[in-house]
Structure 1
Amino acid sequence: MQKVGRSMTEPLGEVQLNRSKMDIGQAFINFQLWLETFFLKKGYILLFIGFLLGRALILAKLTPFTLPFFAAVYLLRKDRAPLALVGLTAGAATLSVQNAASAFSISFLFLFVFRISKKWLSNEMKALPFYVFAILLVGKIAEGFILTNTVTLYNGMMAGVEASLGFILTMIFLQGLPLLSINKRRQSLKTEEIVCLIIILASVMTGTIGWTIYDLSIEHIMSRYLVLLFAFVAGATVGSTVGVVTGLIFSLANISSFFHMSLLAFAGLLGGLLKEGRKLGVSLGLLIATLLMGMYGEGNGNLMITLYETGAAIFIFLVTPISLTSKLAKHIPGTPEYAAEQQHYMRKMRDVTAQRVSQFSNVFQALSKSFSNYDATSSRDDDEDREIDYFLSNVTEKTCQTCFKKEHCWARNFNTTYDYMKDIMTEIDSSDGIVSPKLSREWEKHCTRSKKVTETIQQELTYLKANQKLKKQVHESRRLVADQLLGVSEVMGDFAKEIQRERENHHKQEEQILEALQEFGVEIEQVDIYSLEQGNVDIDMAIPYCNGHGECEKLIAPMLSDILGETILVGKEECAAYSTGFCHVTFRSAKAYAVETSVAHAAKDGGFISGDSHSTIELGSGKYAIAISDGMGNGERAHIESQETLELLQKILQSGIEERVAIKSVNSILSLRTTDEIFSTLDLAMIDLQNAEVKFLKIGSTPSFVKRGSKVMKIQASNLPMGIIQEFDVDVVSEQLKAGDLLIMMSDGVFEGPKHVENFDLWMKRKITELKTSDPQEVADLIMEEVIRSRSGRIEDDMTVVVSKVTHNTPKWSSIPMQNMRKKAN
């Protein structure tokens, strides 16, 4: 029972402990939010900063911070300007009543002059530093005259120095004060903004000169804390910069602080270098710098006091919440927090873009569905019955309305009359306007105006056929538009998925590959991995100038092949133009198969312009397209037609639209753009380079042949040429190719070219079988030569032969084994 009791009380204690932790955490968050609201949103931080700047001195005499700060606050946050003025006056009062009166008077003079001349200013931001310069110069000279009743050269020079400092400080405050606002800043801090922020913080800290706690100087503690904070957040570069700038500001304020500039700069550098040790490493850097500079730099100083001040700064730094350093690091380029923030922002933008593309995809899909379902609202039988009713209504309106037997035919014998007229319409439609004698005699007995009714039916039937043809064309066009919209919707949907597929971080794999190649003795400058997916590897590298020795193809690609466990080839290479530059190379996965294509072509009668056009298109999806188009007729017009057909097809295929929809789209464009009877054929073969499967899409084209050893296979499909009708079904013939196969495609000028040949198929198969070579160019030339010889050397039509050979994609260089590095990057 005791054990049970203990087991029951232990979870209760854990729950209470977790609740206590949650309450403490929530209380800390609430306190942090209260501080942000009180100091930043309500602007009381300006009161605090103004108090310190009001008592800050330069060269132990000048107070150039007062007016620049008030002017910047007045321009940027006019509603909080009274708080800043109160803080500045109170701070100046801690020095002397004279300083307080001077600060208030100069600020009032600035308000008076600026408010009067404000209406003539086009850009207040640019004009403000000049106002501050003029007001400070006049005000300080006037102040010196009031106190001494004379204007000396020394007073004028000091007034000029203070006015110049005020001019510079005004620009610094204008750029730095927005950084202290409550706004959520997404953008990174520029170098100038970081320096301005440091100058503002250092200037504020000069207001603490003379403050001590147990003989420990407040300005020394806070300046070292500032260096620790920036060295921890941004590294050695920014840390040393903060040290130099802060030390310089303190040196100008108090010449005895000149020693601290070297201490702070060295501490920032050393702390940034030890950043990998987190807070303890940065603190150790400050401690070492304090010991070194304390022992050798300041002979008359108290080393123990300096160490105590360093210890106090380290203590404040160690208790600084990590949330504060993280927020600061998000805005400084080069930090991991900044990279994570940028990645989060880019991910958000990517998701928004993908969502918009997906919405457009849904819109196109809905439009496609709307076009597809437009004719599905009523059945075809109902449409036909309705058309017949309208047709007979038109006939009776022109014939039966004025007949004296209308009542007898349509009121008493409606079904009989309706059936007779329907039968007459059917026979006229099916028999080219001829009505059978039997039906004609029966109709004459039934109707007193039989001949007129028959003629009217024949006339109206002509209109009905034209109307039906027009409706059919509209229906086919609507269906074609639906297919095209659906194709665009699918492409946009796939694109949205690609956008949402986040690029993986491959930092570890990049380092491993870089290390492996460098250990092998290959010098690599940079490695960027975009994809390590099997069969879709994408790696970019920057290597030193290789002087054309082919290191990428001969060394790096074989080593990558062994590391990644698949064949890697050079996809793209940009060599450096000079010896000190870098070559940029892209490595990609090798396809399982390669296609070598050769062409032989000739124009009619040996002319220069052929009506045939051919194209090879390597698509990004791992497919290889071969196309031949034959324009109707010969000459330039046919050439333009066939060339435009292939260009349209290439652009649509490269957009990612499926082959059937692409061909239908091209056909629609060709059939709708002109009324001329200009048509073109299309012979398209799509080869998948991963499995060697080929799809043939033949539109009015001649058969193709596949030669595998001594066997020849014929590939044929029946479709009308493109541009004749707006809608047709594309027949797709699939075939599995093997390494060593020859794919032979030709235009009708070659296939139907042989003279005195009855069966072109058998003749072409026999000629292909008799070929003793497997070289694509030789095969194309031999077939062309055989056809021309059969015509006694005459070329009576445009002729094109395209021969493609499928082979295994074997790299020139075998893999180079990497000891203990294989599959490291997986």
Structure 2
Amino acid sequence: MQYELNVNKYEEVKNLQKTKGKLNLKLPIVNLTLIFLIGILLGRVSLLLNQSDSKGIAPFGIAYLMAVSVRNSKQKDVSAGIGVLLGYLTVNSLLSDGNMYLISIGVLTLSYLIIPASKKIRKEILGFVLILSTFFIYGMMVNKYEVGVNITLCLIETVMIMPIYYVIKYAVDSIEEFDYKYLFSTEQLVSIGILFCLIVSGIGNVTIMDYSLKNIFALLLVLCVAYLGGAAYGAMIGVSMGVILGVASNDMMWSIGFFSVGGLIVGIFKDTGKIFSILAGIIIYFALGLYSNVLSFKFGVEVLASCALFLCIPRAAFKSIEVEINPDRKREFIDEGKLNSIREEFTFKLRELTTVLGTVSNCLGAATENEKLLMKGKGSALVENLADRCCSKCENRPACWDREFAQTYNSFQALIQSYEENTICMPADLEKKCVQSFTLLRNVENIVDNNTVNETIKERLAEGRKLLSYHIDSISNTLDDLLNDFKKQVIVNTDLEKRVRLALNKKSVNYNDIFCYTDINGKIKIKISMDDYKGDEHLNKKVIPLLNSLTRKKLCVCEEESRLNSENDEYIISIQEEATFYMVSYNSMVPKNGENQIGDSYTFGNTKDGCYMTILSDGMGFGPEAGQESKATVDLVERFIEAGFDENITVNTVNSIMGMRFAEDEKYATLDLNKVDLYSGEAVFVKIGAAPTFIKRGNEIKIINSKNLPFGLVDEVDVEVIKEELQAGDIIVSVSDGILDIDKSNIEEKTWVEDYLSNANSDPRELSERILSKAKELSGGTVKDDMTVVVSKVYLAS
């Protein structure tokens, strides 16, 4: 089974792709060379059927040639055939019927070149028939076997080739699918491992200074697979290598034990790193050699040489292989691929939406009519309308409109124009011959006045259409900016997920599923779904301390994101890093005298991204209508910020929406936004036409101010984002204009609020109430404008 992945996010995968590009195994010359070299090595692999006979059989080369031939490439057939032929020639003296294998390879290669692939006769069936025939003829003519004996031996050797052929074919098929976007099944990895073991076995008895290259590279392969894939893959490749080398050397039990135990131990210690894994492998190998009485200087040199080569392999090479055979790494890529697919789907939908909005904006804003032709058409319509009213039943109509059409038409135009210029004057021509001059003048007044009203309405509609076009275009551009932020990705943390599962299982905590990831802000988040939810007390006493020790961070339950899935009654608990700070806010407000409802609106509270946000808006005027405008502003800003929009996108989008809302009545609303990161203490202030904000730290007061105009007054807002670093104990005071504008006598830059805060206490509730009381006192007990105070204090989390 293959799972398609998208793993462009990881920088290491990009490096793998660069490495892959340097040596493209799918290039024809590289591919043919590898086929040729593998053919030589597999042709050299032989099996000893009994310990008394020094000569064996070699079915692997024939099986390999058949596995390559099914791809219907004559170049590959020739390359594999020549390679296997050379391999058989190098070990011909070690085979019981070496010439028989040479003849079989020649017959198969020639048949594959001459006979094209047929739908009825598959190449593999043809291959087995040719092998059986070749073995039978060779046995009859060269070995002089009896017919019965010869048939039996031929069938046995042909049947032995069949499973080997299917294993090698499966491995070759899997290698050709080698790609970072696919996941190999266990069967594919086992078959590939067997193929590599056979290739290493093909080195044979080649030595350097009496040290076996086959043993060195066999151990090196086991170490690499064990380190990359873990204990299971290490034991698997060790057993495969032990069986293959043991059959060739008549010492299978020692070979299986040596390679499999070594692979198992190195796989167990793989998480400790290359050096400690190798040290563990060396210790177990020397222990096996000591207890098996095979420990010698030659044995030690071969083991140490394999370990030295393993340490010399660069990390990039390990990465390129690990991404294929390590199940944890591949599962991580699968999860990331799923997230990418969902992200791309949403991005595609939003791109389509922005395209639609852009098209609507263009349609609304485009002028489809030629202004000159439009004016000419309107003039003709006025003349025709006036003539229909006054001349349709006149007895002089034939004389005026039939014989003197041009002169009469121009006279009507002149009459209409004179009225439009407020200097109505009957043309001399009409005054002489028109018998209904009074009716004509009265209808001119009526027609022109009606036309003026209609044109005014059309102009207002055109202005509204252009304004709507502009705002829709602004929203479209805002969505484009959002897509760039939407591409920020979370990182799935499979290693943490595995450790959390293991820890919860040890503590007998029942759960359905666990999902661990790092969000775009670099914070760890853990989602645990369970049926039997025992409340926050159980989590805080049993689960949270366990997770704290695993992550070495202080975690807490996120109440905002934890929820009950109504479809299956499953409770999903969201756990995240505990913030460094927390904030508490209080507000005090009073409406203008004579009003029951205040025109200011506010909100404050935690956001999903680990921040604390305060929003205050002052609507134009006072009363319910101003309250509706300010509440709409607060609601929109809050929803956009919670949805993940940044301050610039939020402000301009809300400005476009409120601009359309305020265009008719020329209203406006202010915005006073501050957002504090509870992990770092960084505060962001955005002020759109709002009163200054005050930050109190001890007896020091800092003023945050901006000169932006309120919503609804400009087409696009140049957002000024002011950043400050807050500390525990700092107090943020946000006020509406009604608080500051009462002290008219203060002509200095310093406001009364600043003076008052420098000596005020630090309790947020009491401070908000006292500021409002002081404002009433300064206004002489008369509240001339809506007054609102929001006081927020930063505390250090325990």
- TM-score normalised by L of structure 2: 0.56
- C-alpha offsets along residues 632-659 of structure 1, whole Å, 9 cap, x if unaligned? xxxxxxxxxxxxxxxxxx9xx9999979
Alignment of 1:678-693 (within 5 A): none
Query: What is the aligned partner in structure 2 of residue 421 from structure 1?
Result: 416
Is it true that 1:314 corresponds to 2:314 in the alignment?
no
Q: CA deviation at 1:242?
A: 0.9
C-alpha contact (below 8 Å) 2:42/2:60 kept by paired residues:
yes
Match of 1:267 among 257, 262, 265: 262
Once the two structures are superposed, residues 445-502 of structure 1 have per-residue CA deviations (whole angstroms, 9 ceiling, x without a partner) of 6734548867997998899799979978995996698479547725742551342222
Equivalent in 275, 278, 282 of residue 280 of structure 1: 275
Corresponding residue for residue 203 of structure 1: 198
After superposition, residues 587-626 of structure 1 pair within 5 angstroms as: none
Please state how far the C-alpha of 1:266 moved relative to its aligned partner.
0.8
Structure 1 match to 2:69: 74
Equivalent residues in 2 for 1:493-508 (5 A)? 493=480, 495-503=482-490
Relative to 1, partners in 2 of residues 1:169 and 1:574: Cα closer, same or farther, differing over 3 Å?
farther
Structure 1 unaligned spans of 5+: 1-28, 428-435, 595-618, 625-649, 667-687, 692-736, 739-807, 809-814, 818-826
Superposed, 1:567-578 pairs within 5 Å as 568-569=558-559, 571-573=561-563
Instruction: Give aligned-pair identity as a percent.
Output: 14
Q: 1:538 to 1:306 in 2, by over 3 A?
A: closer
Equivalent residues of 2:226, 2:235 under 8 A apart? yes
Classify 1:283/1:152 alpha carbon distance in 2 versus 1 (closer, same or farther; 3 Å). farther
Name the aligned partner's letter for residue 197 of structure 1.
I
CA deviation digits over 1:213-264, x for unaligned, max 9?
3333332222101111112222222122111111122223332243111110
> Is the 8 Å Cα contact of residues 514 and 527 (structure 2) preserved in structure 1?
yes
Residues 295-315 of structure 1 deviation map (CA, whole Å, 9 limit, x = unaligned): 223x4x453332222122223
Distance 2:24 2:173 in 1: 18
Q: Given the superposition, is the C-alpha separation of residues 174 and 460 from structure 1 closer, same or farther in structure 2, using an over 3 Å criterion?
A: farther
- C-alpha RMSD over aligned residues: 6.5
> Does 1:57 pair with 2:35?
no
- Choose the corresponding residue for 1:173, options 168, 175, 189: 168
Structure-1 separation of matches of 2:446 and 2:35 = 95
C-alpha distance in 1 between matches for 2:571 and 2:306: 49
CA separation of 1:453 and 1:661: change in aligned 2, threshold 3 A: same
Q: Residues 51 and 515 from structure 1, CA distance in 2 versus in 1: closer, same or farther, beyond 3 angstroms?
A: closer
Separation (CA, whole Å) in 1 of partners of 2:564 and 2:140:
72
User: What is the alpha-carbon distance in structure 1 between the residues aligned to residue 231 and residue 44 of structure 2?
Assistant: 32
CA deviations 1:47-68 (Å, max 9, x no partner) are 2211121121123533221222
Shift of 1:267: 0.7
Amino acid at match of 2:40: F
- For 2:194, the aligned partner's letter is I
Matched letter for residue 374 of structure 1: A
**Amino acid in structure 1 at the alignment position of 2:527:** M
Of residues 52, 56, 81, the one that matches 1:85 is 81
Shift of 1:208: 2.5
Q: Using the alignment, how far apart are the partners of 2:566 and 2:362 within structure 1?
A: 55
CA pair 519-388 structure 1, distance change in 2 beyond 3 A? same
Choose the corresponding residue for 1:148, options 141, 144, 149. 144
Residue 527 (structure 2) aligns with: 541
Counterpart among 371, 374, 380 of residue 366 in structure 2: 374
Partner Cα distance (1:329, 1:85) in 2: 32
Distance 1:109 1:663, change over 3 A: same
Q: Secondary structure at the match of 2:559?
A: strand
> Is 1:47 matched up with 2:39?
no
Which one-letter code corresponds to 2:118 in the other structure? K
Is 1:447 aligned with 2:443?
Answer: no
- Equivalence for 1:244: 239
The one-letter code sitting in structure 2 at the alignment partner of 1:370 is N
Pick from 381, 385, 391 the counterpart of residue 381 of structure 2.
Answer: 391
**In the alignment, which residue of structure 1 is the partner of 2:98?**
99
Is 1:214 the counterpart of 2:206? The answer is no
Please state how far the C-alpha of 1:394 moved relative to its aligned partner. Answer: 3.2
TM-fit CA distance, 1:85: 0.8
1:170-191 deviation line (CA, Å, top 9, x unaligned): 3333333356569865434332
Please give the alpha-carbon distance, in whole angstroms, between the structure 1 residues aligned to 2:496 and 2:105: 63
Alignment correspondent of 1:303: 296
Go from structure 1 to structure 2 and tell me whether the alpha carbon gap of 1:157 and 1:550 turns closer, same or farther (over 3 Å shift). farther
SS in 1 for 2:416: helix
Amino acid in structure 2 at the alignment position of 1:119:
S
Distance 1:70 1:178 in 2: 14
SS at match of 2:70: helix
Deviations for 1:353-407, whole angstroms, at most 9, x for unmatched residues?
798678646634542442343249988xx79854542323535887699544999
For residues 321 and 472 of structure 2, what CA distance do their matches in structure 1 show?
A: 49
SS of the residue 1:363 aligns to: helix
Return closer, same or farther for 1:495/1:591 CA change in 2, 3 Å cut-off: farther
The 8 Å contact of residues 329 and 335 in structure 1, kept in 2 or not, is answered as no
Report 1:277-676 matches (<5 A): 277-297=272-292, 299=293, 301=294, 303-334=296-327, 360=352, 363-364=355-356, 366-375=358-367, 385-386=375-376, 388-395=378-385, 402-404=398-400, 417-422=412-417, 447-448=434-435, 450=437, 482=469, 486=473, 489=476, 492-493=479-480, 495-503=482-490, 526=514, 528-529=516-517, 531=519, 539-542=525-528, 546=532, 548=534, 551=537, 568-569=558-559, 571-573=561-563, 584-586=572-574
Aligned partners of 2:480 and 2:173: how far apart in 1? 43
Report if aligned partners of 1:357, 1:492 keep a CA contact under 8 Å in 2: no
Q: Distance in 2 between matches of 1:376 and 1:477?
A: 16
**Distance 1:440-1:109 versus aligned 2 partners, 3 A rule:** closer
> 2:281 & 2:503 partners in 1: Cα distance?
38
Checking the alignment, whether the CA contact within 8 Å between 1:575 and 1:583 is kept in structure 2 is yes
Q: Using a 3 Å threshold, how does the CA distance of structure 1 residues 273 and 408 change in structure 2: closer, same or farther?
A: same
Aligned-pair CA distance for 1:269: 1.1
Task: Tell me if structure 2 keeps the 8 A contact 1:110–1:132.
Answer: no
Amino acid at match of 1:69: Y
Amino acid at match of 1:316: L
SS of 1:83 mapped into structure 2: helix
Q: C-alpha displacement at 1:130, in angstroms? A: 4.4
Contact 1:234 1:334 in 2 (8 A): yes
Cα separation, partners in 2 of 1:454 and 1:193, compared to 1, 3 Å? farther
Structure 2 residue identity aligned to 1:569: E
Residues 176 and 446 (structure 1), Cα distance of their counterparts in 2 relative to 1, 3 Å cut: farther
Match of 1:256 in 2: 251
Counterpart-to-counterpart distance in 1, 2:456 and 2:119: 75
Q: Please state whether the residue corresponding to 2:573 is helix, strand or coil.
A: strand
* Distance 1:552-1:103 versus aligned 2 partners, 3 A rule: farther
The CA deviation at 1:440 is 13
Letter of the 2:490 counterpart: R
Q: Is 1:119 matched up with 2:118?
A: yes
- Amino acid across the alignment from 1:287: I
How far apart in 1 are the matches of 2:544 and 2:282? Answer: 51
Distance 1:584-1:160 versus aligned 2 partners, 3 A rule = farther
Aligned residues: 584
**Could you tell me whether the CA contact under 8 Å between 1:141 and 1:156 is conserved in 2?**
yes
Shift, 1:422, TM fit: 5.0
Answer whether contact 2:510 2:532 (CA < 8 A) is retained.
no
Q: Provide closer, same or farther for how the CA distance between residues 152 and 365 of structure 1 changes in structure 2, counting only shifts above 3 A.
A: same
Partner secondary structure for residue 516 of structure 2: strand
Shift of 1:39: 9.6
